[in-house]
Structure 1
Amino acid sequence: MLNKFLLSLLFLTLQGCNNYAEVTTKETICPIIPEGSSGGIKTLPGCFDYYVFSQFWLNELCISDGRDMETGVDEPSADSCEILYQTTNSNALAPHGLWPNLKNSSAYPEFCTDAPFDVGKISEDLRHKLGLLYTDITPNLESHEWRKHGTCSNKTQQDYFNTIVALNSQQKIQSFIKNNVGRDVAYQDLKAAFGDVNHSEFICAKYSFDDKQYLMQTYQYFDKQINPINLNVPKIKNACEQNKPIHIRKPSKFLTMDDFKKALGSSSKLTVGFDIDDTVLFSTPPFYYGVNKYGSELPNEFWQQMNTVLDAFSLPKKIARDLLSFHQSRKDKIYFITARPKTEVETLTQRLIKTFSLSKETANVIFTGDDDKTQEIKAKGIQYYYGDADTDITSALRASAIPVRVKRNAISDAESNSNPGYFGELVLIDSEY
């Protein structure tokens, strides 16, 4: 008893905590977590009740990497999705981590030892597998997971990451996800793919401008021997709603201009359409002038000036020069469809002809005003439609055209939503210039 008491006293002294009682297991002496504890606590390796295995759906993670963790509202960002598209296969769930956890407590073990992540303690084969699973959009995640969670598992680094790789390859789950990419699935169908009802939970991303919910993260529960267990856990933050479909986002496509040209190749003549503001022309300067002079509600007087003299201060985008030159060389039919209102006089058509060296037959400008562009895209038989705004992409999709996202310049003052890759559309790299 004396040795047991001294060991317990030594542990409590090292932890700087005098409120822990002790309990004996066969493996080690574990402290009892004080009632009401929450958040991460440093305890001894192996002193936990079960594991949570967490996986990411990377196609959503890259979109929602601007999440406000306080409100749960996501702000889409395309930068990570571009990295993802260029570096990994995003049609499979990817591991987040394997987390020791406690029953009947809001506390969880973390940073149980100071053991650093050491690739030298992992076999070459395992390092290769981890390199395929942990991507550039989650840099240093394996190091973080080992230090925060792995040190509490009482496993070696080899065993800890081997377990993660094995759990991530569960075939039934990965097949279900792969077969439903780009689709809505019922909550219960997703549950069934993961096993028993209380064996899993799901985190969904939700956006302020969309009423859908999107799968972003999954949790599964296992005992210390990695056997599936059922748990009735409290509702987790940002959990998917059970009575609402869950959308599994398909990966976005990010291509350079050269790759895009190769993709179209020598296909037959096309009919293509272009938005104008922030797609073909960087028109923030004249709009900035208009808002400062007239306020946010721009009158007809402004639009008359915009469609005539003010566009002299709009800058042609390099990507527009490249695209228009390319389509002209293919002798494709070209339309411009703008949300600007039609005015009695306009010189925009002539400005486009002169700026981009277009033929008169090529420059067909359609002014839709507040009307949706879908009808015009469909009526003109447009097959590819280029635009910067989300509404450009959705209009093209509704018209059964292929949407191509041209990125909006970072200093644009346009207020409409622009979230490259959000709809799984093709995005042109470096097209903000």
Structure 2
Amino acid sequence: MGSGFDFYVLSLSWSPTWCAENDRAGKTAQCNGDRTYGFIVHGLWPQNERGFPSFCPSRDSDRVPDALGRGLFDIIPSMGLIGHQWRKHGTCSGLDQRAYFSVLRAARDRVRIPASIENADARRRMSPATIETALAEANPGLTPQGVAVTCGDDKLDEIRICFTRDLAFRACSEVDRGGCRARDLTIPAATRP
């Protein structure tokens, strides 16, 4: 599924951290409290063993039609983010918009998030290695070398999971090396404001 790159990275953003850092006033659908979001899809990124392509030429429009984008709101709650991901990453997948977002959804559906992470309490701290191990244990075929946890200010930001182009889990040393090196992290609770 796709061509012109080596593998995919599915980036899952922890919405409570993003909202606390970027939208405290709750102006976006992601943060306004009408719906509680935990992990949202930040993107599905074509990668090479070293580096990644971005903003590739495409026959498809830069604009993602509303009908296509709104069908993704359960996992990506923003047309702005959907459009940006298409322009920066989807255009490099070798797929058209509909196929790219179909693969993106299939990749997200492949990942099971353990309750220990999804329902974490900010008072409990977890190391990035513990998060990676929990994900590997919950997803047969996934190893800690195929997951990278990112962080900022000792809070969970994202989980990045590597897939082959056929959506099998795989190791990805360059992505893994870019993960969080903090000793432990807080995971802000996904609750309504």
TM over 0.5: yes
Match of 1:203 among 150, 153, 163: 150
The whole-number CA distance in structure 1 between the counterparts of 2:188 and 2:74 is 21
User: Is 1:246 the equivalent of 2:185?
Assistant: yes
2:85 aligns to what? 145
**Deviation of the 1:95 alpha carbon:** 0.1
Whether the 8 Å CA contact 1:110–1:152 is kept in 2: the answer is yes
Matches within 5 A, 1:99-178: 99-103=45-49, 105-106=50-51, 108-114=52-58, 115-116=60-61, 117-119=63-65, 122=68, 127-128=70-71, 130-135=72-77, 138-170=78-110, 172-173=112-113, 175-178=115-118
Match of 1:95 among 34, 38, 41: 41
**Higher RCO (C-alpha under 8 Å, 6+ residues apart):** 2
The whole-number CA distance in structure 1 between the counterparts of 2:163 and 2:17 is 25
The 1:179–1:100 alpha-carbon spacing in structure 2 relative to 1, beyond 3 Å, is same
Whether the 8 Å CA contact 1:134–1:142 is kept in 2: the answer is yes
Q: Which runs of 4+ in 1 moved over 6 A?
A: none
2:139 aligns to what? none
1:225 aligns to what? 166
Whether the 8 Å CA contact 2:11–2:159 is kept in 1: the answer is yes
The whole-number CA distance in structure 1 between the counterparts of 2:27 and 2:170 is 34
The whole-number CA distance in structure 2 between the counterparts of 1:203 and 1:81 is 25
Letter in 2 for 1:112: C
Letter in 2 for 1:204: C
1:184 aligns to what? 125
- What is the root-mean-square deviation of aligned Cα atoms in Å? 2.6
State which structure, 1 or 2, has the greater radius of gyration over its C-alpha atoms: 1
Paired-residue identity, %? 23
TM-score scaled by length of structure 1: 0.38
Structure 2: tracts of 5 or more residues without a match: 137-142
Whether the 8 Å CA contact 1:63–1:80 is kept in 2: the answer is no
TM-score scaled by length of structure 2: 0.80
- 1:77-126 deviations in whole A, cap 9, x for unaligned? 62248851423222x210011111111x33x212222422343784xxx8
**Deviation of the 1:172 alpha carbon:** 3.0
Q: Could you say what secondary structure the match of 2:95 adopts?
A: coil
**Deviation of the 1:149 alpha carbon:** 0.9
The whole-number CA distance in structure 2 between the counterparts of 1:187 and 1:53 is 17
The whole-number CA distance in structure 1 between the counterparts of 2:26 and 2:149 is 22
User: Is 1:79 the equivalent of 2:79?
Assistant: no
Whether the 8 Å CA contact 2:15–2:40 is kept in 1: the answer is yes
Whether the 8 Å CA contact 2:36–2:190 is kept in 1: the answer is no
Letter in 1 for 2:25: D
The whole-number CA distance in structure 2 between the counterparts of 1:247 and 1:253 is 18
